[in-house]
Structure 1
Amino acid sequence: MKKAALVLGAAVALLIAGAGIWFANGWYGTSTVSKNAGFVVPQGASVTAIARKLETEGLIPSADDFLLRARIFAGDGTIKAGEYSIPEMSTPSDIMDILQSGDVVLNFVTIPEGLPSILVHERLMAVEGLVGEIEVPEEGSILPDTYDFQKGEERSAVISRMQAAMDAYLAEAWEKRTDKAVVKTPEEALILASIVEKETAQADERPMVAGALSNRVRIGMMLGADATTIYPITKGKPLGRRIRVSELRSTNPYNTRAVAGLPPGPITNPGRESIAAVLDPAETKALYYVADGTGGHVFAETLEEHNRNAAKWRALRRERGEM
């Protein structure tokens, strides 16, 4: 009788041990991940919803088994929203470790210097992986840069980071302004910087353009920037034609060929260099500048000198067949 009880006990123990090994192997030793895969944890998803999604995408054999084993083996770690990379042959234990690590895959979107807000909006709406609707952000509120985002992230959250970056940089740059700066407020700095951004594509020329425009502001002279005249018509998009005489004569506050002073707001999202240029412009007496045919500009202190430079530019354009 004793011998039979011992045999039965040993058999039960073996069964329990075998069941334990089988149960643990289902967490630590098996995998249905046949190749490297991406997996997105939606914002606010429950562990049950995540397990169902893992099963649907073929990364685990059973959501119910995963949840049962997770309660025993995974502790109380938090699963964080975002996109994750799941390597080939990952076990359920490996997958849970990855999801609890917060080591998300980052994607990137670049906002170039001088991109107007209407095109920032179009760019973000076209980015795959971002979700949610957004309004066109306020002009000049976005700091051009490259920003990371997680798949499934709200577009509004990305916009908020871009605007916070502009606020932080503008505040820092404003504190470093010199006595040469003609702008009276950070808002005026943004407006003038947006014009500098549109007037020249050459980074090394921005302080000089800022200097000439600052001189005009200082003496109450009209800025004469075509980009400001175009802005109310296209909101920053290319005009696609020559400016009409009627548009140049319009007295709307953005037409700096008809109204002196700064326009009422920025005409694009200026980059760091343009903002820095208006806060520390080149020390110059120049009031005028015109394209020189190489991508840059030639500057002049007098209208007579400027007219000669402009005549050379028109002659060069005729020679190139552009007029």
Structure 2
Amino acid sequence: MWRSIASNAMTFLIVALFVLGGVILWGRGQYEGPGPLADAICVQVERGTNFRRVSRNLEEEGAVTSASIFRMGADYAGKTAELKAGSWLIEPGASMEEIVDVVTRGGASTCGTEVVYRIGVNRLSAQVRELDPATNRFVEVVEFQPGVEDTPEEYNEVKEAQDTRYRIALAEGVTSWQVVTALRGMDVLRGAVEEIPPEGALAPDSYEVRTGDARADVLAQMAEQQELWVSAAWESRDPDLPLESPEELLTLASIIEKETGVAEEREQVASVFVNRLNRGMRLQTDPTVIYGITKGQGVLGRGLRRSELRAATPWNTYVIEGLPPTPIANPGRASLMAAAQPAETPYVFFVADGTGGHAFAETLEEHNQNVARWREIEAERASETDGG
């Protein structure tokens, strides 16, 4: 009898182990296999929440088939204590294992609301936008000019949210004064800026910031990035450039930046200035004259007068020889590389061609013809504006 009971118990144990093993294999397949989510979603993890609540939300959203299996898998992986607050994009078909990695990895939120402060040459704007999980593209909610227009209610609302991300997008060609003025107008930052950074010292790039970040720290990050770009451009420069230092390269790049907004012709514009420097010709570029007038504090907003073209300032390249003493703006990486590696051309002149780009010339005669064409275009546009 006892032998029969022991045999039955052993059989039961073996069957139970097989069943348990099957359940474990099934659960593992559920945890590691493709999930049921058909469309991407944005999952918000509030500060102070726990894995149980997150797992329930994911089950309700249809991202996981079982909140219990999701929690057990995370617990087995030792990640239940690593939950990170934020807004996280969950891709279609993501497995439970992949979702656990997303909500415990940390870093900047990957979806939700973002405020982008765009520091441009002509204005500062703030754009509130949200990521549409279905298209993985941002949709604008509202845009305004801080300090100029009334603050929209949508902006005040997103500032109260814990997971709102903030980014500063710095355009090529802005001056250091413009950058500092813009940073002072951003109410998510703190702290005073004692001095305007040297012209050209700040890298036009995109920067993630957090509420309460110090303005001085943001400027230091911009300066550090520009140092890296200038150093890389200087190290890769053509050996026969008529430039003596990285500072001169930075100055030339700033002139290139202000002379053209067409990416494809930066190297050609650079070649004109390099050819002029090599021949001992004055650079004769209008943006340097403008900088001598404004010192980078705002936009001139009108055409140059003949008297201003002749006026002696340290930056007026119609008057001075060679490069001005400082950059005239903050150039981007592409302009730095154009200054370091200009195209090989015979050009020493260029003028606007009416398309947004320039017409280049090797001789004064060719240049005068290009100028005449540009004057005709200007006259036609003026006539159209006047209704003639």
Return the TM-score normalized by structure 1.
Answer: 0.67
Q: Match of 1:242?
A: 303
Q: Deviations over 1:266-302 (max 9, x none)?
A: 0000000100001100001100000010000010011
| Structure 1 gaps, min length 5 | 1-34, 40-82, 88-100
Q: Match of 2:180?
A: 121
Q: Deviations over 1:47-76 (max 9, x none)?
A: xxxxxxxxxxxxxxxxxxxxxxxxxxxxxx
Query: Using a 3 Å threshold, how does the CA distance of structure 1 residues 273 and 159 change in structure 2: closer, same or farther?
Result: same
Q: Match of 2:80?
A: none
Whichever residue aligns with residue 303 of structure 1, its letter is L
Q: Which of 243, 246, 262 lines up with 1:183 in the alignment?
A: 243
- The reply on whether 1:318 has 2:379 as its aligned counterpart is yes
- The reply on whether 1:112 has 2:171 as its aligned counterpart is yes
Equivalent-residue separation in structure 1 for 2:325 and 2:381 (angstroms): 37
Q: Match of 1:199?
A: 259
Whichever residue aligns with residue 281 of structure 1, its letter is P
- The reply on whether 1:273 has 2:334 as its aligned counterpart is yes
Q: Contact 1:193–1:278 (CA<8 Å) still a contact in 2?
A: yes
Q: Deviations over 1:198-222 (max 9, x none)?
A: 0000011000000001111111111
SS at match of 1:223: coil
Return the TM-score normalized by structure 2.
Answer: 0.57
- Residues 85-100 of structure 1: matches in 2 within 5 Å? 85=86
Whichever residue aligns with residue 266 of structure 2, its letter is R
Equivalent-residue separation in structure 2 for 1:254 and 1:175 (angstroms): 27
Q: Contact 1:180–1:283 (CA<8 Å) still a contact in 2?
A: no
Q: Contact 1:132–1:156 (CA<8 Å) still a contact in 2?
A: yes
SS at match of 2:322: coil
Runs of 4+ in 1 over 3 A off after TM superposition: 35-39, 83-87, 101-106
Equivalent-residue separation in structure 2 for 1:241 and 1:321 (angstroms): 15
Q: Which of 283, 293, 300 lines up with 1:223 in the alignment?
A: 283
Query: Using a 3 Å threshold, how does the CA distance of structure 1 residues 291 and 102 change in structure 2: closer, same or farther?
Result: same
Equivalent-residue separation in structure 2 for 1:85 and 1:310 (angstroms): 57
Q: Contact 1:289–1:300 (CA<8 Å) still a contact in 2?
A: yes
Identity %: 44
Q: Deviations over 1:97-141 (max 9, x none)?
A: xxxx98566521011111111111122112231101113221100
Whichever residue aligns with residue 257 of structure 1, its letter is Y
Equivalent-residue separation in structure 2 for 1:180 and 1:310 (angstroms): 31
Whichever residue aligns with residue 226 of structure 2, its letter is M
For the aligned residue pairs, the C-alpha RMSD in angstroms reads: 2.5
Query: Using a 3 Å threshold, how does the CA distance of structure 1 residues 129 and 318 change in structure 2: closer, same or farther?
Result: same
Bigger strand fraction: 2
Equivalent-residue separation in structure 2 for 1:234 and 1:194 (angstroms): 15
Superposed displacement of residue 245, structure 1? 2.1
Q: How many residues align?
A: 234
Q: Match of 1:305?
A: 366
Q: Match of 1:151?
A: 211
Query: Using a 3 Å threshold, how does the CA distance of structure 1 residues 142 and 38 change in structure 2: closer, same or farther?
Result: farther
Q: Contact 2:350–2:360 (CA<8 Å) still a contact in 1?
A: yes
Superposed displacement of residue 151, structure 1? 1.1
Q: Contact 1:104–1:150 (CA<8 Å) still a contact in 2?
A: no
